[in-house]
Amino acid sequence: MTSFAPTSEVTLNPAQRAAVEHGTGPLLVLAGAGSGKTRVLTARVARIVEELGVSPHRVLAVTFTNKAAGEMRERIGRLLGAEPRGMWIGTFHGIGARLLRLHGEKVGRTSAYTIYDEDDTLTVVKRLMVNAKVSPKDFAPKAVAAAIGDAKNALVSPEEYASLALTPLAKAVSLVYTAMEPALRGANAVSFDDLLVLPVRILHEHADIRAHYAGRFEHVLVDEYQDTNHAQYEFVRLIAGATGNVAVVGDDDQSIYGWRGADVRNILDFERDYPGARVVRLEENYRSTPEILSLANVVIAQNAARRGKTLRATRPAGEPVTLLKALDDRDEADAIAEEIEKRRMNLRERPKEIAILYRTNAQSRSLEESLRRRGIPYRLIGAVRFYDRREVRDLLAWLRLAANPSDDEAFRRAITVPKRGIGDSTVDLLAGAARERAIPLLEMARRAAELDGMRPSARTALDVITTLADRFRVSAEESSVDRLILEILQATGYDEALRAEGPEGLDRLDNVRAMVEGAAETVVDDGGELGLRPLDHFLQKAMLVAAVDQMGPDGDAVTLMTVHTAKGLEFPVVFLSGMEDGLFPLSRVFDDPDVLEEERRLLYVGITRAERKLFLTWAMARRRNGELLPGIMSSFLTPVPADRYESKMTSKLRGSASAFAYTSPSQRRPGTPMTRPSAWETPAEDESQVAPHYAKGVRVKHKAFGTGSILELSGTGRDAKVTIEFDDETIGRKRLVVAFAGLERGDE
């Protein structure tokens, strides 16, 4: 066994060493992009264990992706010379799932509970909407499910939500939300959001359990703290207890998940929440060239809500940042593909060294077409996850039913895999009888003989289903997961059904084989889950895996993904495409300064993914909904001085004199925000045209929010902001950027 590499032997800069060698008490590490935060986290854990003599059993480390958790465990193991046995290392949802396995009875769950993914949860929502007589024509099920998810992550109970429900949508959501927990509890299931909410509830309501974990975990470390929502914030607070040995690492400049409940105030207010906290800033960047960081610093400096730090490059000077202007989106895609070809030929760069990032998934289509035409290999990240593929979900349904006979959603899918002549009418008859008797669907299927009106063929098919389910449940206790999957394939006839589908079915069988191989590698770790069946562990892993977690060395290919998906990754060469107002930033964010700042942070994240070369591309026209619409370069780039970039045009744009007509104001899409032309392209226009003058007390009208009165003003020119008290009480008070709000004078 190799010996521990003490922190004195780990290469650390002074700021990193200060964070690693911090003793007890709360610690906030503001880690800029590429500043070596993973090195700091792992070295600190190793020091806590080896130099301070703390047992790995008493350390909890929380990350946001399984990939990051795996890398952390591996690095800590290398530093310690052995696997950190007993240490809890995982994602928030993974740690929450672990806690629920141990204490689920406190919230009406057994240790064999099922985790419902987004599709399963949506199915439940649709069914509860029918029961509550909430029409999907009036309220979209996805909107209802999203509202419930937001409420859960904010730790708003169904009762609290009902008391606050004023709008028709909120009242509809309340009906479904109130019925959801009993429905999930009856199925011995939890939604993805429940993996945070229920552990917080357990810790909050049960002082003995809270005291147990507060006493067990002497040190709690949290990565990506800027991305925590309220439920995650409470989880950390409760599980850490009164010891105060909480070390969080994050970057307020990379807080980009406000749309899913993340609250940047958690990191901004850390010292308020943990008095006496030490703050360490990591500003030395080991990833990017000075040219790239210079641009990143200028962009993010425009945000007001930030702790403040400036990234400093440790790498030597490199290639300049390139601003590439295209005629339209197709020209932009062709130009990106052309640049990739040039770099492959002239610089011998491999496709796998290159990433193309975009704001929305819809942008990938033209990029994919251009890459295909040139024979450039690529991989699309964030499309259909492996565990979301039909054949995989089909087999997961049988596995879930074997693990948890109360899983009604798994039963509903399993009975159709393969098809056995059981139609909706049979399922509806079963479901109604199961509700009356308060029993799971599988149990009701065993008692199908009690039901009048069921066809004999349906009874026979249900007998087959229940027999198979009982058989697989026994096998789950005796067989490995891979052998269980093979048994299901053969016993159900699903493998034959796939072969009967022809070439597409054979492709699906390849995915099944990959699933079997993955199951064969399932090993239950020892981090507090001793006694957990391999099947339970496999299902938990399958439900919690993210798109980024699945990224691996799958060939020499250009990577295409959204900027959100790219967070935490790095590439030698990065193309940031679609740098236009209305796309990056999105048009809907202009009315809210806080959301606009988050959008700017997203750009900062995209810029700092690049190691040695960054391209920013934009198009003077872009096709949206079949219509060619004019484009204006992103106003986020306006503050960048001209000496921080090199400007290029595509050959198609240079050859088209008429192209400049796209920027004519008369051709601008109605409702598209007017912005000052970029300092990179044209002289600045009079600011009064961008931000008209307003005064306190003036009545104004907003196209979405209606009329209201100005209460406060701040800033000047394009940075001018107003706080408006709108007449509609459901809207209330909002702070808007004048340049983008589209305000009109209202009634006096």
Residues taking part in catalysis: 37-38, 223-224, 254, 609
Query: What six digits make up the tokens of 565?
Result: 């998906």
Distance CA 605, CA 256 (A): 8
Contact call for residues 147 and 169 (beta carbons, < 8 A): yes
- How many C-beta atoms surround the C-beta of residue 702 within 10 A? 19
- How many C-beta atoms surround the C-beta of residue 52 within 10 A? 11
Contact call for residues 300 and 608 (beta carbons, < 8 A): no
Distance CA 293, CA 313 (A): 7
Query: What six digits make up the tokens of 511?
Result: 């995915």
Q: Residue 588 — left, alpha, or beta (φ > 0 → left; ψ -120 to 50 → alpha)?
A: alpha
SS3 621: strand
Closest CA to 85 of 528, 487, 391: 528
Cβ-Cβ contacts under 8 Å for 532 (sequence gap 6 or more):
101, 111, 524
Distance CA 179, CA 176 (A): 5
SS3 80: helix
Q: Which amino acid is it at 650?
A: T
Distance CA 634, CA 166 (A): 38
Query: What six digits make up the tokens of 614?
Result: 């960054």
Distance CA 626, CA 728 (A): 36
Distance CA 33, CA 283 (A): 8
- String of b and e for 211-247 (b: at least 16 CB within 10 Å)? ebbbebbbbbbbbbbbbbbbbbbbbbebbbbeeebbb
DSSP per residue, 661-727: GGG-GGGSPTTPPP-PPPTTTSPPPPHHHHS----TT-EEEETTTEEEEEEEEE--GGG-EEEEEES
Contact call for residues 200 and 235 (beta carbons, < 8 A): yes
SS3 748: coil
Burial class (CB in 10 A: 0-12, 13-18, 19+), 436: exposed
- How many C-beta atoms surround the C-beta of residue 191 within 10 A? 25
* Terminal Cα distance for the chain, rounded: 81
261 phi/psi in degrees, rounded to 5: 105, -10
Contact call for residues 10 and 43 (beta carbons, < 8 A): yes
- Considering Cα of 651, then 657, then 660, then 666, what sign does the dihedral take? negative
